[in-house]
């Protein structure tokens, strides 16, 4: 079906939304990814009809046949973006067009139908508008999870002929549970996240499933996150389990691993590169080895490192552990450049600072 296809959303009233008092209690400390709103968006796809039967309806379990293709062949993709409450009582999204485009690229890689950008945006706007009371005040936000999976009932290795696109929402606070000034990371030398020609640049569930054992290993060694090396030489830093990574050097410059099919093209990553260049900071997209990371941290050439992503925003990395030992970065906490870039990013995201690049999408 054409990428310009439009749909008309039906609205299904919620018979019993959560009472305001109970919702307010949940929003006091929502954590991350455990408090869900009243509604969801659903849109069906078939080869015969294209995108159809679009609804905003009460959040509920999904009926699924045991032979649904996603359960056997893992055709599934997803996105993550946040809605922020503004000072005037409105709500905004940060660069949702980029999420829509990345969703299309993920779909292409997984042999799935392309959801038009306008439909993706309308679905997100509709859910945020409908569940606006679920957007937390303060530093919280409403995390949106658009996703799509194959739901044709068959057993056989081929692209499905039917899919379900959905958007659900979760009221969230901080992603990391630690109160430490920086997170610790474990360098995985046994497991890799993605290989050339694979699905590393797609946001699909299989990539994250493959990272879980390595993340469990990181937790076992007292670390908050895992760092993956490249699959070919096992020496080049690629990304964390669910975040991109940046390095800050003593000359004030930044570097980040280059995209090339094995690293997810993060929207936060792209935004930080632009903001850094706006400030006159030199940014290199180049390979950086684990050995060089250790050496530069020891000599002081490397002053800071941080992870970034929609969920974690900008999070300083203080300690790096591996089977070869442990080293600290700088003072083991955050650094001036990390905090400067985080403040610039969050200021735009929360409409507290000018938006020179037109990144803010106003929902209402």
Measured between alpha carbons, how far is 162 from 149 in angstroms, rounded to an integer?
A: 9
Please tell me the predicted confidence (pLDDT) of residue 6. 84
pLDDT tens profile 39-62: 999 999 999 999 999 999 999 999
Q: What's the distance, Cα to Cα, between the start and end of the chain in Å? A: 30
For residue 319, give both structure tokens: 């300690």
| Predicted local distance difference test score (pLDDT) of residue 174 | 87
Compute the radius of gyration of the chain from its Cα atoms: 21
- Has this prediction a pTM greater than 0.75? yes
User: What pLDDT does 1 receive?
Assistant: 46
Write down the catalytic residue from 82, 203, 337, 342. Answer: 203
Whether residue 2 is predicted with pLDDT greater than 70 in this model: the reply is no
Structure tokens at 322: 């591996």
- 203 as an active site residue: the answer is yes
């Amino acid at each position: 079906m054409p990428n310009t296809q439009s749909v008309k959303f039906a609205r299904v009233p919620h018979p019993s939304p959560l009472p305001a008092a109970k919702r307010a209690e949940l929003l006091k400390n929502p954590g991350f990814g455990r408090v869900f709103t009243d509604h969801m968006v659903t849109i069906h796809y078939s080869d015969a009809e294209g995108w159809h039967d679009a609804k905003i309806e009460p959040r509920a379990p999904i009926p699924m046949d045991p032979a649904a293709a996603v359960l056997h062949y893992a055709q599934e993709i997803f996105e993550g973006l946040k809605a922020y409450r503004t000072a005037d009582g409105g709500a905004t999204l940060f660069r949702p067009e980029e999420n829509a485009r990345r969703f299309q690229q993920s779909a292409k890689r997984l042999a799935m139908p392309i959801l038009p950008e306008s439909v993706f945006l309308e679905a997100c706007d509709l859910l945020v508008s409908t569940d606006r009371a679920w957007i937390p005040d303060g530093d919280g936000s409403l995390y949106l999870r658009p996703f799509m999976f194959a739901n044709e009932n068959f057993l056989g290795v081929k692209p499905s002929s039917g899919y379900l696109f959905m958007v659900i929402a979760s009221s969230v606070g901080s992603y990391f549970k630690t109160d430490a000034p920086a997170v610790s990371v474990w360098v995985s030398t046994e497991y890799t996240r993605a290989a050339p020609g694979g699905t590393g640049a797609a946001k699909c569930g299989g990539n994250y499933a493959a990272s879980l054992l390595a993340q469990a290993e990181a937790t076992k060694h007292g670390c908050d996150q895992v760092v993956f090396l490249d699959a070919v030489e096992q020496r080049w830093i690629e990304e964390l389990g669910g975040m991109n990574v940046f390095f800050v050097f003593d000359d004030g410059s930044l570097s980040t691993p280059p995209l090339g099919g094995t690293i997810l093209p993060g929207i936060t990553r792209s935004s930080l590169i632009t903001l850094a260049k706006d400030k006159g900071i030199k940014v290199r997209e180049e390979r950086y080895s684990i050995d060089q990371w250790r050496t530069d941290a020891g000599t002081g050439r490397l002053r800071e490192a941080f992870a970034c992503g929609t969920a974690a925003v900008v999070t300083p990395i203080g300690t790096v552990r591996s089977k070869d030992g442990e080293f600290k970065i700088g003072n083991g906490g955050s650094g001036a450049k990390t905090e400067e870039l985080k403040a610039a990013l969050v200021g735009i995201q929360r409409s507290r600072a000018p938006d020179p690049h037109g990144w803010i999408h106003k929902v209402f």
